[in-house]
């Protein structure tokens, strides 16, 4: 499926990857995300693709809408990736791209700068005759690492104009691709009580921390390991002094789920609890700050999975399908009813940590796999 005129060069690939790694582009560093967008814009325009830049909010970087079919109202496939990382400013200077043996290290090396680059490599080196049969849309967003609050609606709109979505997050270190992802939500729950002196007026106060403690126990009771619905009270704070009945407390809660219906039931339960606090005189506010629906394969997705399996077999690339606990933008596109699969980047792991790595030997085979899949979609 690769144009034989362009033999793959790992050295050239790594030279292209280095500028993407050696700059700070955390979600909250919009100037850095913009630099990534500049690099990728130049690459796509160099191969004749149209690039449209979107700025959805002042506090975030740009998003890129890229296509070989300007003006199309429908695309055969949407390829998706994110340009942001989780790392703060200064990380790139401390940990620039480093090659050790058969691995590369650096911030975002597999999550997911290599995925962004591999999409471009797959398209630029694909047989032009096959590519001419495909209307391809490439969407690179700026805010995936915080749940895509600004780009989500755009991604869903574009996915609905596409026959299927392939996301180039990293394949797992064992080569697995991703057919399903848990949904997730983050809640900020605030508790308002009544302050009083803990010695002389204890009973006149209403402890926000005591109310919070009741909630922690009640939330833990909603965990269902059988169905995979889990909740974790990960951050708590409250109180001003040991001799003061606290009038304020706060909890940040993580929710993960396979069933969107169970997630809705949890949300309803938290709302009920807020309207019926454990302590009289306490007021509770529940704020669902982020929500990402579960990604589950449909019948159309299973047909796409079969196509990918056939492509992998033809390329001699073994893999299994993984149901992942973490989310991606594929959660949104799948929930919109568009067949969506993930993990089409090179193999890697250690995401969101100093140990993040990319397996160099996987880069070229995974580019070939993506090309083979695109070739089958063109038929």
- By annotation, the residues acting in catalysis are 84, 144
Rounded CA separation 278/325 (Å):
32
Residue 38's SS3 state is: helix
End-to-end CA gap in the chain:
13
Q: Are 231 and 223 in contact (CB under 8 A)?
A: yes
Sort strands 103-105 and 98-100 into parallel, antiparallel or unpaired. antiparallel
Cis amide prior to 112 (ω within 30 degrees): yes
Half-sphere exposure of 288 (CA within 13 A, CB side): 15
Sort strands 77-82 and 165-167 into parallel, antiparallel or unpaired. parallel
H or E element, residue 304:
helix 299-315
Tokens of residue 208, six digits: 């926000």
Residue of 47, 44, 2 whose CA lies nearest to 139: 44
């Amino acid at each position: 499926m690769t144009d034989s005129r362009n033999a793959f060069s790992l050295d050239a690939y790594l030279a292209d990857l280095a500028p993407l790694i050696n700059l700070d582009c955390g979600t909250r560093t919009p100037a850095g995300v913009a630099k990534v967008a500049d690099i990728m814009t130049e690459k796509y325009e160099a191969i004749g693709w149209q690039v449209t830049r979107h700025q959805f909010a002042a506090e975030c970087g740009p998003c890129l809408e890229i296509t070989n079919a300007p003006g199309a109202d429908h695309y055969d496939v949407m390829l998706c990736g994110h340009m942001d990382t989780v790392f703060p400013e200064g990380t790139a200077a401390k940990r620039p791209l480093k090659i050790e043996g058969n691995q590369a290290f650096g911030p975002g090396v597999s999550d997911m700068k290599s995925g962004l680059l591999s999409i471009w490599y797959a398209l630029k080196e694909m047989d032009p005759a096959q590519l001419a049969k495909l209307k391809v849309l490439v969407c690179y967003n700026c805010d995936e690492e915080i749940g895509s609050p600004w780009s989500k609606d755009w991604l869903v709109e574009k996915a609905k104009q596409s026959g299927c979505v392939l996301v180039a997050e990293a394949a797992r270190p064992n080569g697995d691709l991703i057919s399903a992802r848990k949904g997730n939500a983050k809640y900020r729950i605030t508790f308002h009580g009544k302050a009083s002196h803990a010695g002389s007026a204890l009973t006149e106060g209403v402890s926000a921390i005591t109310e919070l403690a009741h909630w922690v126990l009640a939330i833990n009771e909603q965990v269902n390991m059988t169905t995979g619905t889990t909740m974790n009270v990960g951050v708590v704070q409250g109180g001003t002094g040991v001799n003061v009945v606290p009038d304020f407390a706060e909890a940040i809660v993580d929710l993960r789920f396979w069933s969107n219906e169970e997630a809705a039931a949890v949300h309803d339960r938290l709302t009920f609890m807020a309207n019926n606090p454990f302590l009289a005189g306490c007021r509770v506010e529940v704020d669902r700050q982020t929500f990402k629906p579960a990604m589950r394969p449909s019948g159309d997705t299973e047909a796409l999975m079969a196509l990918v399996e056939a492509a992998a077999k033809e390329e001699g690339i073994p893999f299994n399908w993984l149901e992942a606990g973490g989310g991606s933008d594929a959660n949104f596109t799948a929930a919109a009813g568009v067949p969506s699969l993930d993990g089409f980047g090179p193999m890697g792991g250690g995401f969101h940590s100093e140990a993040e790595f990319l397996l160099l030997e996987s880069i070229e085979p995974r580019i070939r796999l993506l090309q083979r899949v695109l070739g089958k979609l063109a038929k």
